[in-house]
Structure 1
Amino acid sequence: MAPDLARAIVSRHPQDGRRQWKIEDVEVHAPDAGEVLVKIIASGVCHTDLGCGSFPDGVGFPVPPYPRVLGHEGAGYVVNVGKKVTKVKPGDSVLLSFAFCGKCHNCEHGAPGYCAQFTPLNFCGNPKAFELPGSDKDRPAVGGSFFGQSSFSNLTRVQETSVVRMTDLVKNEADLKLFAPLGCGIQTGAGTVTEIGAARASDKVAIIGLGGVGLAAIMAARHRGCRTIIGIDRIDARLELAKSLGATHIINTSTVGDGLEKAVRDITEQSGSTITIDATGVVSLIQQGIEFTANQGKMILLGVAPMDAALQVALVPFMVTGKQLLGSMEGGVRPADYIPRMIQWHRQGNFPIDKLVKYYKVEEFEKAIHDMEEGITVKPILLW
């Protein structure tokens, strides 16, 4: 069967530290037995896409060689399915999330975001998922299956585990576009609060870094009725947005200087925050977060720090406080269960994700990235 022609944002080898992304024609073959062919109508842009499209081969994230197609917050419609696929059928509307093996201990008994095969399935994917058009039999392959999906293509082969059926949940195509980012960044922030943090009304929550992930955490803490919700960032617009989404207090790190711990303790009647979430990966902020976390509190890491970064933790003082240091991968959720919950919260008026997003035509992807990096837009969504 002849491959289908698609348009994709192809990420090529960076030059002088700059991303080399360009919309190109690619060929997509029929799905394998465990894959779904999806027509993408929208895809959120995540900082992980930007990082994975910026590193030279062999440096940073373990992704296939260039060229490759990224994108991992896709929404669209099923075109075709492999012979072993049972979750969806052609015509179904779907949201796309991360891939997992479904067989390891964590997939069966815990959260699939901690799958034993998470790195190869999501970051390495399939180095030959796409091909460049042409008559030459040896024409270059293009890597795909990024997070099981590579949704920066208007037609893509998706791992069945990455697919969440939306046919009975979305009302129209506008719904489907709005919900595109739920499969990664939004569920990561929200799930970190509700599932890993197990937040209760009595909790005092501090969230460091107010991008899409951190602001989703703010909304989830408000949904849980947490008594104190502290938003911490250096961008005034993000801090004000956090207040409108449920933050009871805000702290600007550019003005508080080294007094972050004191500021949090003053807000929390000296106890510190019972749940502290870092969405920055900035080691100095994480270190301070550990200090201002309350006794028996949880410090949860979900920002991506440098690979060789380390913390200084005095073991005995840490032990006697009863604090917990945890990592969050995809919020510790099962997307097929959690994404419908977030949609229900949104429709109840408790999870206003529409305040985070801005739509861009795919031809404007460079502007979308610029606006995201400059803090103008929290969560860009590319429309195909």
Structure 2
Amino acid sequence: MSSANMDEALAIVAHGPLSAGQWKLESVVPRAIKDDEVLVRVVASGVCLADVHFGDVAQEKIAQNPAIWYPRVLGHEGAGYVEQVGEAVRGVKVDDAVLLTFLSCGECYNCLDMHPAYCIHCFSCNFHGEPGVYAGRDGKDSAIGGAFFGQSSFASKALVKERSVVNISSANVTEQEMQILAPLGCGVQTGTGAFSRIADVRASDEVAVIGVGGVGQSAIMAAAMVGCKTIIAIDRMPSRLRLAKSLGATHTIDTSDPAMDLVAVVRKLTGGRGVHVSLDTTGVQTLARQSWDFVRVHGKVLQVGLAGPEATWDISMSDHMNSGKQIIGCVQGDSVPQEYILQLIDWFRHGKLPVDKLVSLYPVADYQRALDDMREGRATKPVLVWPTQKSEASSVSKI
């Protein structure tokens, strides 16, 4: 371990639930770097609902959940430049451009079989985090946590586990492009990978996506890139449906009418057959069940996200067996980020993956507005832009 790093940083610290106004933008000091870590100057951080889920739980409900605790820095879609590397790090060097992604152990059977998204230690690696990664500027609070998804990128300087780092220097991206590409590390690779890697959709396929936020829109783009015959976007927000149409959806369904029979509508659009592949990004039990109902016999049902721990599948064994349908849990698009993210950048560069249409940029001081806009559907994928080192000190003083 190297000597202590006393560089001051700016971070969004969750001292308690977001809804109680206990997230604060403040100065912190990162601890000394470990051998398997990289210190990254963060340029931009995508905002994902997982950050909200793990940072908006009331104190009285967290006693039995080791993944929920305060104070901590969240964030898991970072982009930036390497400032320092630990002694055991081999994949990056100082000044390399990097995107940040999920963490895997690298040693379990799934990691060794090139399926790190299904690491058997995925939950503890990504959600538990680590206390004491940051200290308050006054030195009084030395227990501020980090290492969320191995990165905690809601900070201008992030201590990142090497396995959460993707070296993109070979792609020669500009700093402005990195602001757009920050979400590739989670939301975009999850959505695109669902169709391109897990389901391996073809041009002759008919597909449907329930919930077209950042993950769902990314799946729409992947289906359009393949040229799927029918691409159905399903959501209750007209703004999201309009965006999905511009990204390649052939049909949109507005679910804001509670009397609408979603299964019947999808089947009508597909000549009564149903779709080959459905992707539910909401995790809402009733919607997930409907996605199973409107998938054709021998089709695939992909599920990503979770609306609550009580949600279950309520399908009889007889129906499941005779339908030949597959229910597939979808995590991070089953990607190997160090390879797949470079592919995503190439698609972006060639106009096949218009990620810029998803992204809305916000100065980090406006993080609350970004969260509100995402919740209300005014923004699909908010990205927080961090001040440069020269302007950072003045930015802190104004908060």
TM-score by length of 1: 0.96
The residue that corresponds to 1:14 in the other structure is: 17
Equivalent residue for 1:85, pick from 82, 85, 89: 89
Displacement of 1:140 after TM fit?
A: 3.4
Question: Cα 1:332–1:59, aligned 2, differ >3 Å: closer, same or farther?
Answer: farther
Give the corresponding residue for 2:119: 115
SS at match of 1:40: strand
The answer to whether the Cα contact below 8 Å between 1:64 and 1:126 also exists between their aligned partners in 2 is: no
RMSD: 1.5
CA contact (8 A) 1:189 1:217 kept: yes
CA contact (8 A) 2:89 2:162 kept: yes
Match of 1:34 in 2: 36
Residue 250 (structure 1) shift: 0.8
Partner Cα distance (2:21, 2:234) in 1: 29
- Paired with 1:343 and 1:135, the residues of 2 have a C-alpha distance of 40
Q: 1:361 aligns with which of 360, 363, 387?
A: 363
- Among all aligned residue pairs of Structure 1 and Structure 2, give the percentage whose two residues are the same amino acid: 45
**1 CA distance for matches of 2:320 and 2:54?**
34
Q: Which runs of 5+ in 2 are unaligned?
A: 387-399
Pair 1:19–1:98, CA change in 2 (3 A): farther
In 2, Cα distance between the equivalents of 1:128 and 1:35? 15
Query: How far does residue 102 in structure 1 lie from its aligned partner after superposition?
Result: 0.7
The Cα shift of 1:65 comes to 2.3
- Distance apart, 1:256 and its partner CA: 6.8
Q: Compared with structure 1, are the counterparts of its residues 214 and 80 closer, same or farther at alpha carbon in structure 2 (3 Å cutoff)?
A: same
Mapped contact 1:19–1:54 kept (Cα < 8 A): no
Give the secondary-structure state (helix, strand or coil) at the position aligned to 1:257: coil
Amino acid at match of 2:80: G
Superposed CA offset, 1:253-312 (max 9, x none): 113734111110011111101100001111111111111111110001002131011121
1:120-159 alignment runs, 5 A limit: 120-134=124-138, 139-159=141-161
SS of the residue 2:297 aligns to: strand
Deviation at 1:171, TM superposition (A): 3.0
1:1-58 deviation digits (Å, cap 9, x = unpaired): 342211100001228x535111111111231000000000100000101111101352
Tell me the matched-pair count: 381
Looking at structure 2, the residues matched to 140 and 94 of structure 1 have their Cα atoms a distance apart, in angstroms, of 28
Residue of structure 2 equivalent to 1:47:
49
- CA distance in structure 1 between the partners assigned to 2:212 and 2:63 by the alignment: 27
Q: Name the residue aligned to 2:390.
A: none
1:151 is aligned with what amino acid? Answer: S
Residue 213 of structure 2 corresponds to 211
Structure 1 Cα separation of the partners of residues 189 and 79 of structure 2: 15
Counterpart CA distance in 1 for 2:64 and 2:215 is 21
Provide the rounded CA distance (Å) in 1 between the counterparts of 2:293 and 2:321: 13
**Residue of structure 1 in register with 2:228 after alignment:** 226
Q: Could you tell me how far 1:59 is from its partner in structure 2?
A: 6.5
Aligned residue number for residue 103 of structure 1:
107
Give the equivalent residue in structure 2 for 1:241.
Answer: 243
State the 1:110 CA deviation: 4.1
1:165 to 163, 167, 182: 167
Q: Name the CA shift for 1:194/1:250 in 2 (closer, same or farther; >3 Å).
A: same
Unmatched 5+ stretches in structure 1: none
